Chains A and B, each alone.
Chain A
Amino acid sequence: GAVVSQHPSWVICKSGTSVKIECRSLDFQATTMFWYRQFPKQSLMLMATSNEGSKATYEQGVEKDKFLINHASLTLSTLTVTSAHPEDSSFYICSARDRGSPTYNEQFFGPGTRLTVL
């Protein structure tokens, strides 16, 4: 199946700093990528939908100025957590759909990035 990578896999930062997480589709073009957030032992919560070349669409309750999403190419989307605080500590997972795949219905997930804000 298609492969989605994320970098970094984990990051620890001080409160008030910004952190950028990269999501790449390695062997397919992803016109749409999705960013999820997951707290321990809880469900994945969709934060935003990222479309290549246009502004991301954020879910209700997600601060767009805090979670900046950029989808500059068909294989790369980035999530920047600005002025991070301890409550932003979470597991962030990106996902993408391969529109060129016969298994179009599948949605492929990156391995996730664990963010810890001190």
Chain B
Amino acid sequence: AQKITQTQPGMFVQEKEAVTLDCTYDTSDQSYGLFWYKQPSSGEMIFLIYQGSYDEQNATEGRYSLNFQKARKSANLVISASQLGDSAMYFCAMRGVNTGKLIFGQGTTLQVKP
């Protein structure tokens, strides 16, 4: 079985500061992928970053980086230099190679303060 846990229902961050959104996971698959998506109030799901379970380096995409700690089964998202437009709901997700299904955590609502 697969499970994704996001324990922060809501977070605040000051504009231009960095913020870390937590994500832990559990799976019996040896190979899996971890994803982060952003969902603004419009509802669209915006893909941010991907980390494969066998990737040795942490993934980075512009201001987004994924702090992958395999032994601790955590895949935290770090957003550097927060912008007002970063205010949204953020979802951590996982897809195991055996199931092929992308399942989501509960989400974290991030609010960036000016």
A44 touches B35 (CB 8 A): no
Interface residue count for B (Cβ, 8 Å)?
22
In whole angstroms, how far apart are the Cα atoms of A93 and B95 in the complex?
Answer: 17
Residue of A nearest to B37 (CB): A109
B102 touches A105 (CB 8 A): no
Residue of B nearest to A112 (CB): B43
B100 touches A32 (CB 8 A): yes
A46 touches B91 (CB 8 A): no
Describe A's contact surface by its main secondary structure: strand
A/B pair count, beta carbons within 8 Å: 49
Interface residue count for A (Cβ, 8 Å)?
21
A28 on the B face (CB < 8 A): no
B106 on the A face (CB < 8 A): yes
Residues of A within 8 A of B (CB): 1, 32, 34, 41-46, 49, 91, 93, 95, 105-109, 111-112, 114
7 A-B pairs with the lowest CB-CB distances in the bound complex, closest first: A109-B45, A112-B43, A44-B104, A43-B104, A105-B50, A43-B106, A111-B44
